[in-house]
Chain A
C-alpha cells in the first residue's frame, strides 16, 4: 500500500529536473563555473531519499585516489581538494577568509601562526592565482604554490 501511495505521489509532483548531475570529476581539469544545463536541482534525488551517481566516480570504497590504489600523497590530496572546491576556494580567496580556504591551509600543512599570512597572501594574489575563468584546478595549484614560494615568510611551505 505505502509503495502504491508513494508511486502516486511521486509521479504527480512537479519536478523541475530529472537525474543527478555529475559535476565533480576525478581528473584535475575542473574550471570555475563549469556550468550545468538548466536548473541543476536534483529534486528527484531529493524526493526519493537521495540518489546520486557517485558510484561512477573513482572515489569509492577503500580508495581515495582516482587511480584506485588508495595511496594518496599530500599534494595529491591538495590537488583533489582544490579540484572539488574551485568556486568556493575562489570566493574565499577573494575575501581572505572562509571555511574552504581554512581547510586548504590545514591540508597544506600551514601552522596556526602562519594562517593569517597565508590567507592574506591568497587574497592579495587572487588575480595571479585565478588568472581567468578558464583556469584549471591544476594551474590554480601551481600558481598558488609559486606565490607561496616567492613569499618571504611562507616559502617554507612550498610543495615540491
Chain B
C-alpha cells in the first residue's frame, strides 16, 4: 500500500470518527482533565466527590462535590483576571485558557516563577524504595517523585527536589493508634518538596531498602503541567488512608495531569500499593530503564563478603576499639578492613542504638586512619539486580486447581489472593525469603457442594538467614480458617498461630528454616479454644528463576482437644511459566483425627 492510500484510509477513519460523534460537545466541567484537576472521583450515587478535603482548594462552597459549580466559580475569577486566584491555580488557568475563547493575560506569577526557576525542571523520576528485608509488611513500600533539573548530572541528583506525599501523624500517638487512625483517614496528608538526599538518607538508613529510580517518559512541557498542578496542591490537604488514598494513589493523581488523556487512577481504587504504582506506569509505557541505589545494609553485606575470615576478624578488633596488626596485610587489604570496620560499626551504632560517647570517637578514628591511605577503595559495589520490581509478577492472584485425596476424592478448587507474594511464587523482582499474603481464599467444589477450604486473612513469613554481618531471627504469622482431615469429613478450624526461629542458607538457592510455634485453635473439633505449641520447618530450593521446590512440615500438640496431635507435610514444585502464569504441583499429607494424603495441581494467574 502506498503512502497516499494509507493517508486516504486514515482520513476516512478520521471522518468516520467525526461523523460518529456529531455534536456531542462535552461540557468543560465534565472533561476528564477538569475532573483530574479537582481530584474528583465518580461516586456510586452518580455524582462526584473530590479526594481533597481542604476547603481552601475550592473556589465554590459546593466545590468538593460539584465539579460544575467549581468550574463556574473558577471561570468567573479568571474572566475577572483575579491575579491572586490565577496564581493560586496555574494549572486550571493554563488549561481553561486553551479551552474557552478569551483574551486573558499570559500566566505571570513572580512567586511561582521563582519557585520554578529554583527547581529548574526538565524531567521526572519515579523513586521506589523497595521492601525492608526483615519486614515483609514493608513490601508495600513507598513511592515518591524526583524532579530532575536541567543542569543535572548523575552527581547532582542528590540535590534535585523530591516530591513526597505523606501523612502528618500526631507524634504522641502510639503504634496501634497510629495504624488505626491511618486506616480510617484521621491524619492529614499533603505534598511536600525537599532535597532528594534527605529521602535517600531516610531509606538508606533503614537498613535494607534499596531504591529503584525510574526515569519517566514525560516531555519538558508535560513536566511543566505537573508542576503547575503541584503548585495548586500547596493548599490541598487530603485525609490520608493507608490502604487506598495513600502516597501511591496521590502521586498517580498528580502525574496524570501531564496529559489530557492520561488516566492512571481509575483502575486503581481497590488495592493501591506502591508496587502497583510502578505496574500502572509501566503499563502505560511511561517507565524507562531504572537506576539502582543499594541501601546501607545491602552494601555492608556485599562488602563483608569480600573479606577473608582473617580480615573480618581484624575488622572486628577495630570495631571493638583495638588496633590490628596491619603488617600482616597489604595496604590494599588494610584499606578494605578499615572500610568494612567503619561501615559495620556505624551500622551497629544505629541498629542497636549504641552509646555515642563510646562509638563516635571510634568511628571518627577509623575514618582518619582510612584517609591516610591514598588508594581508591578496593571494595566493589553491589551489582544492580538483573530483575527490577516492575518485571515481577502481579500482586493479586487467582488459581484453578484439581486435587485428589485418599479420603475425600477429587475436587476442583478456586482460589483468590488479594496480595502479594508467597515463598514459592517467582522471586524475580521481590525480596527473596519473605512472604506476605493478604486475604488468601480457597474454595472447593466436589460436584455436589461448594465448601470453603481456607481463608487466610494474613499469612506472613520472614526468613532472612544469618550471614557474616546480620544476625536475624525468622518469624511467621498466620490468621484465618482452614480444614484438616476429620473422622467423616474435612473439619474446619479458626486459628491464629505464630512462630519464631532461624533460617540458614541463601534464599536465592537453597534455604531452610525451623520455627517454634504457638497458636490458638477453635472449631468443629473442640468445645472451647484449644491452645497449641509445636514446630514448623521447611527447605526451599530455587533451581533456577523458573523452578522452585519445597518440602515443608508442621507439627502441633494441642491442649483441650480430643485429638492431642496434629501434623501436616507437603512437597511442592512451582513452575513459573512466564511472568504472570505458573503451575504448582503438590503432594500433601495430613494427620489429625484421620490420616490423609493427596495431590494437587494448580494453575496460577497473577494480575
Contact = CB atoms under 8 A, between A and B. Distances in A.
Interface of A: 2-3, 5-15, 18-20, 23-24, 32-55, 57, 59-62, 64, 70, 72, 77, 80-81, 84-85, 87-88, 90-91, 93-97, 99-100, 102-103, 105-107, 120, 123-124, 126-127, 130, 132-134
B180 A11 contact: yes
B349 A106 contact: no
User: Which of A6, A7, A85 neighbours the largest number of chain B CB atoms within 10 Å of its CB?
Assistant: A6
Contact of A53 (B138, B168, B342): B168
Contacts of B114: 70
Given A2-B271, A10-B137, A62-B115, A18 B356 contact: no
Given A24-B198, A43-B135, A133-B363, A18 B178 contact: yes
A2 B418 contact: yes
B166 interface: yes
Interface stretch (B242-250, B524-532, B573-581): B242-250
A120 B132 CA distance: 36
Contacts of A95: 339, 370-371, 376-377
B187 A44 contact: no
B389 interface: no
A24 B349 CA distance: 17
Interface stretch (B44-52, B189-197, B304-312, B593-601): B189-197
Interface in B159-179: 159, 164, 166-169, 171, 173-176, 178-179
A55 B190 contact: yes
Given A15-B175, A91-B342, A126 B367 contact: yes
A22 B370 CA distance: 30
B368 interface: yes
What are the 10 A-B residue pairs with the smallest beta carbon separation, nearest first?
A50-B142, A126-B371, A46-B138, A133-B360, A94-B367, A102-B155, A38-B353, A49-B246, A94-B371, A133-B364
Given A50-B142, A133-B363, A39 B240 contact: no
B234 A32 contact: no
Contacts of A107: 156, 159
Nearest to A132: B364
Nearest to B359: A33
B137 A43 contact: yes
Contacts of A59: 192-195, 198
Interface stretch (B94-102, B202-210, B314-322, B564-572): B202-210
Interface string B341-379: 010001001111100100111011001101100101100
Nearest to B115: A62
Contact of A46 (B141, B187, B192, B368): B141
A55 B368 contact: no
Contact of B376 (A34, A81, A96): A96
A62 B374 contact: no
B370 A33 contact: no
Given A51-B166, A106-B156, A46 B209 contact: yes
A33 B363 contact: yes
A159 B371 CA distance: 24
Contact of B192 (A33, A60, A90, A99): A60
B179 A7 contact: yes
Given A24-B201, A85-B201, A12 B477 contact: yes
